[in-house]
Structure 1
Amino acid sequence: MSRRVVRQSKFRHVFGQPVKADQMYEDIRVSKVTWDSSFCAVNPKFVAIIVESGGGGAFMVLPLAKTGRVDKNHPLVTGHTAPVLDIDWCPHNDNVIASASEDTTVMVWQIPDYVPTRNMTEPIVTLEGHSKRVGILTWHPTARNVLLSAGGDNLLILWNVGTGEMLLTLADLHSDLIYSVCWNHNGSLLVTACKDKHVRVVDPRQRQVVAARFAPHEGMRPMRAVFTREGHIFTTGFTRMSQRELGLWDPKNFEEPIALQEMDTSNGVLLPFYDPDSNIVYLCGKGDSSIRYFEITGEAPYVHYLSTYSSKEPQRGMGFMPKRGLDVSKCEIARFFKLHERKCEPIVMTVPRKSDLFQDDLYPDTPGPEPALEAEEWLAGKDAEPVLVSLRDGYVPLKNRELKVTRKNILDRPPPGPRRSHSSGDAAFSRPSLEEVLEEIRALRQTVQAQEKRISELEHKLSQFSNGTA
């Protein structure tokens, strides 16, 4: 007699649950822009959501604990002159977020730990280099201050946010609109999905495509691609008959898929959220009301369906919490922030366990907030694994660390020689040297920054008084 053997996996019984009503974020006017980004970015401190706004583009940042009804006058981040299309938190500084817009710019913002009293309009730095709208942002996983942007001009640009400079411009690699970009685990390679039906593996520092696959999914609708922990590529797309499909590929042998599965006939683009610690990929379709999740293993069929979280209302977008923002005491292995038309609803994914002890097998050491490299080291060819932290005692977010932008100034020169005096009779006058003018500008700038800091502190105290906490 033979009997079917059930595959052993600690994630077979993962289940999703929405939080209670008072832990949601209500009265948020989520953006109606027709762009296939997630519209939401979260980290252990904040949830950021792209929202509707008049006369430009804006997003809202809420402290995670500030649940319930959001005040209609809650300050927004409003520096862009056209709709915001994508936002992404810096993995190495929980107070820094980047935003990309139809106005062709990328802006980087320092979000204070307190709630400001008025809209934020001044970014730390504005990055200008794209000629068309910028729709994709992603930070480097291990190098400090390295940000990648992709625009409607088919360019990939890598920036050093700490100096406000372009590090690299990757032109001529893509012949059409780029749908998605993802780093591998140490940031040495990128995988891109493009409207020209190619998935490409790119070495950014060599400025070249090292592997490519034409039409991993034969349909014309948008694809997505992400790197897995083993260096494989997980893709989502559509068949020729417009069925949604997922695939797993080895870039060293791109012709044949490791796995290829048809899903359903819905037309929403599937956004993959991949967790390298558990090797689970969560698929959230725009306009769907469900989250499906799969475990990727080394055994056939390689992509194993686990379960589906279903609800009644469709999602407008989705945020995915980094591992260090989860509650390890409740065996929480993922948390999503589902956007509705007027609210944001956290959904918690849990592995059922009876023990209250820390579950080592569910929580291997995970990437922490410290970068492994400086931008210059990475650009020079160095690679490093992420700096890991243990979640055994939970993760406490760091205090606000200010991002300082130091622009390289072409006017900076070595001090000139002795000043020459021009005499007229007994009266001598001298023109200040360029170095002295620059020194005076620096001193004035420091004075202005000190006053801004003072104003910021006073605003903070004022907000505490108005909230009745002081």
Structure 2
Amino acid sequence: MSGKFVRASKYRHVFGQAAKKELQYEKLKVTNNAWDSNLLKTNGKFIAVNWNASGGGAFAVIPIEEVGKAPDQVPLFRGHTAQVLDTDFDPFNDHRIASGSDDSKIGIWNIPESYKFHDHVNEDGEPIDIEPVKFLTGHARKVGHVLYHPVAKNVLASSSGDYTVKLWDVETGKDMITLKHPDMVTSMSFSYDGNYLATVARDKKLRVWNIRDEKIVSEGFAHTGAKNQRVVWLGNSDRLATTGFSKLSDRQIGIWDAFNLEKGDLGGFYTVDQSSGILMPFYDEGNKILYLVGKGDGNIRYYEFQNDELFELSEFQSIEAQRGFAVAPKRMVNVKENEVLKGFKTVVDQRIEPVSFFVPRRSEEFQEDIYPDAPSDKPALIAEEWFSGKSVEGPILVSMRSIYDGSTPSFHGAKKPEHPATQTNDPQDKEVQAKKAETPVGESKKEVKQEAPKSPTPQNSPSPSSNINHVLKEDKSINKLLKKASDIDQVNHAEDPSSDTSGWELADDEPAPIKIEPVVNPTKTKKEDSFKAEPPKETKPEPVSIATDKGQEQKLPQKEKSPEKAKSCDEENCPAPSSSTRETTTVVTTSNREDSSTAKASPKSLGLKQSVEKLSTLVLQLEDVIDKLIKANLDKDERLLKLEQKVSELSK
């Protein structure tokens, strides 16, 4: 069936746009070092770029407004005796930046207030190089990554080739905490409140640390490919996203429960493509959009994260590949033009090109729904408080409306959501999730999950037939559904599910497929009370007498019409009636339309029973399909393992 659905989303039409040539930064000398870092960092006011310099390592800082060609001689931040591998701006001080180097040192630098990329020269016209304020020493090997704490001022994390991650008090220059790993860390990311750190190392394991306890909260194997992996914490939630490679070199995305990594990724890896470049992930907490920037290609893919799944929005394509990419803080975007992300990419190691992403809106008013409050430049804690054990629920937030109006900024502390950001307790949202009209990335991995839920364990769960009976008896909305079915023929010709209004839009160019869905509690809206076309559903039985254990009819008193007192024969564990008795067996309903105490058996009750039996059979069939697919997947893994062993034996 070729039905095509488009998922309703306000970010469905987000588009990327590169800046014009006159607004780019040219004649740059981006480092050609092969170390895996982003090469660029920005805080919205400056751009830091690892420079291809002789005589030790250096990096350059370019003010955002100084576009155009770079001078022949540029002021550099010099002081390291080896290549600069990574930099990071202090989120609470726009003029402070940290650097990690191959010389095993961490440099802390202040950007002069009068600093200019083009005119920072002395009396002789020579550029004035900037020297570090201090060096942080303690690592035994190169420092590959540096990352400032999102909540506490003067707290810096660094990863090194000595297999450790250190947390520094920048003010005192002391390494306060050391997290020891069995291999080199390739990526790390702080949680929203800054109490946890997610790391991924070359041993292919993903770990979440309680930083101040120096203990691993959760760990598990991530991607199986040999190349480096990346990790990013998905904002104010307990979810992580990783990018990596499969054994067959497919680029993958994984979504994880940060505190249950042992259980594996949620729902299977998403396969992106078979390109060789690492995917650099950037997450926008305000819009719940994950951006994936390909290293070595010109594409930037972006996905909306919802209900523990990624839904592809679109892709920014360019014929000019990037090796480095940086994203400015959300408070620095152009709110008046509905810009939701401001980024910068390197082009052929000689140019930096701004790339912005916009939500197309006609209104010129402030778009409150796409601009929630964003992290500000105000620290929630100081280093001494954080290291002593004090915690907050997140960074200090600034109102984006005040940025739009140009008024005095208003600040407030962050709060944890009442429920995890990726979950929903609304029954209507759950039914929409079950219908899933748009297939997310990795369709083959998600297909079984969308068609039928995993069967519960027999010890703790009733049979599918009893589950359905319970739903039919307990949910009052079934009465509304049964009113629409006057006989079996009307049920078989029920309303087309493609006309259901559930927040999903049907594409005009293709017909809607008819899908068989698992039985769920019907929602309360009148439109969604209609039956699906397949399989046939139950019809409205009339209130009649109930059969006793001896097969004789017993009059149902009028006072027992309440749902609490009316019980079906199944719940009393009564024996199955004979064929002659079955014709007179009826179902007690909770309808208040009639007051008759006795009635003869109606053929509609037989239609209801047959429908329940068919649905039970369908559920069991779907469970068998799931079991077969799981077994096939395990067999495939065993074959791959044997193949790898043979290859390793032959290579010896």
Q: TM-score if structure 2 supplies the norm length?
A: 0.59
* Residues 197-276 of structure 1 aligned to structure 2 (within 5 Å): 197-214=204-221, 216-229=222-235, 230-254=237-261, 255-259=263-267, 260-276=269-285
Q: CA RMSD in A?
A: 1.7
Alpha-carbon distance in structure 2 between the residues aligned to 1:35 and 1:245: 21
Amino acid of the residue matched to residue 333 of structure 2? L
- Secondary structure at the residue paired with 2:385? helix
- Secondary structure at the residue paired with 1:361? helix
Quote the residue 1:441 is aligned against.
none
Quote the residue 1:457 is aligned against.
none
**2:230 touches 2:242 (CA, 8 Å); kept in 1?**
yes
1:251-294 alpha-carbon deviations (Å, 9 max, x no partner): 33322322421111111111101111111111112101110011
**1:86 touches 1:135 (CA, 8 Å); kept in 2?**
yes
- Secondary structure at the residue paired with 2:353? strand
Alpha-carbon distance in structure 2 between the residues aligned to 1:275 and 1:50: 25
Gaps of 5+ in 2: 122-126, 409-652
Alpha-carbon distance in structure 1 between the residues aligned to 2:259 and 2:396: 27
- Secondary structure at the residue paired with 1:263? strand
Quote the residue 2:142 is aligned against.
133
Q: How many residues align?
A: 392
Distance 1:165 1:337, change over 3 A: same
Alpha-carbon distance in structure 1 between the residues aligned to 2:400 and 2:258: 32
Quote the residue 2:625 is aligned against.
none
The percent of aligned pairs where both chains have the same amino acid is 41
Instruction: Note the C-alpha offset of 1:316.
Output: 1.7
Instruction: Note the C-alpha offset of 1:3.
Output: 7.2
Among 374, 379, 387, which residue is 1:379 paired with? 387
Amino acid of the residue matched to residue 181 of structure 1? M
Amino acid of the residue matched to residue 296 of structure 1? F
Alpha-carbon distance in structure 2 between the residues aligned to 1:321 and 1:113: 20
Amino acid of the residue matched to residue 86 of structure 1? D
* Residues 146-161 of structure 1 aligned to structure 2 (within 5 Å): 146-161=155-170
1:204-249 alpha-carbon deviations (Å, 9 max, x no partner): 11011110012x2111211111111211110111011011100101
* Residues 16-415 of structure 1 aligned to structure 2 (within 5 Å): 16-114=16-114, 115=116, 116-117=120-121, 118-171=127-180, 174-214=181-221, 216-229=222-235, 230-254=237-261, 255-259=263-267, 260-298=269-307, 302-340=309-347, 341-384=349-392, 385-394=394-403
Amino acid of the residue matched to residue 92 of structure 1? F
**1:143 touches 1:378 (CA, 8 Å); kept in 2?**
yes
Instruction: Note the C-alpha offset of 1:68.
Output: 0.5
Instruction: Note the C-alpha offset of 1:164.
Output: 1.5
Alpha-carbon distance in structure 2 between the residues aligned to 1:84 and 1:349: 30
1:368-427 alpha-carbon deviations (Å, 9 max, x no partner): 00100011111111111210001224288x9xxxxxxxxxxxxxxxxxxxxxxxxxxxxx
**1:99 touches 1:108 (CA, 8 Å); kept in 2?**
yes
- Secondary structure at the residue paired with 2:187? strand
Instruction: Note the C-alpha offset of 1:6.
Output: 2.7
Quote the residue 1:459 is aligned against.
none
Alpha-carbon distance in structure 2 between the residues aligned to 1:212 and 1:289: 33
**1:159 touches 1:167 (CA, 8 Å); kept in 2?**
yes
- Higher strand share goes to which structure? 1
**2:78 touches 2:132 (CA, 8 Å); kept in 1?**
no
Alpha-carbon distance in structure 2 between the residues aligned to 1:121 and 1:354: 46
- Higher helix share goes to which structure? 2
Gaps of 5+ in 1: 399-470
**1:327 touches 1:394 (CA, 8 Å); kept in 2?**
no
Amino acid of the residue matched to residue 151 of structure 2? T
Q: Point out 4+ residue stretches in structure 1 off by more than 4 angstroms.
A: 2-5
Alpha-carbon distance in structure 2 between the residues aligned to 1:337 and 1:279: 20
Alpha-carbon distance in structure 1 between the residues aligned to 2:65 and 2:390: 39
**1:77 touches 1:119 (CA, 8 Å); kept in 2?**
no
Alpha-carbon distance in structure 1 between the residues aligned to 2:295 and 2:5: 36
Amino acid of the residue matched to residue 256 of structure 2? W
Quote the residue 1:437 is aligned against.
none
1:180-219 alpha-carbon deviations (Å, 9 max, x no partner): 01000110000001001100001111011110012x2111
Quote the residue 1:413 is aligned against.
none
Instruction: Note the C-alpha offset of 1:57.
Output: 0.8
- Secondary structure at the residue paired with 1:392? helix
Q: TM-score if structure 1 supplies the norm length?
A: 0.81
Quote the residue 1:12 is aligned against.
12
**2:208 touches 2:259 (CA, 8 Å); kept in 1?**
no
Quote the residue 2:488 is aligned against.
none
Amino acid of the residue matched to residue 11 of structure 1? Y
**1:125 touches 1:161 (CA, 8 Å); kept in 2?**
no
**2:375 touches 2:397 (CA, 8 Å); kept in 1?**
yes
Q: Which has the higher contact order (CA 8 A, sep 6+)?
A: 1
- Secondary structure at the residue paired with 1:93? coil
Alpha-carbon distance in structure 1 between the residues aligned to 2:402 and 2:191: 28
Amino acid of the residue matched to residue 125 of structure 1? K
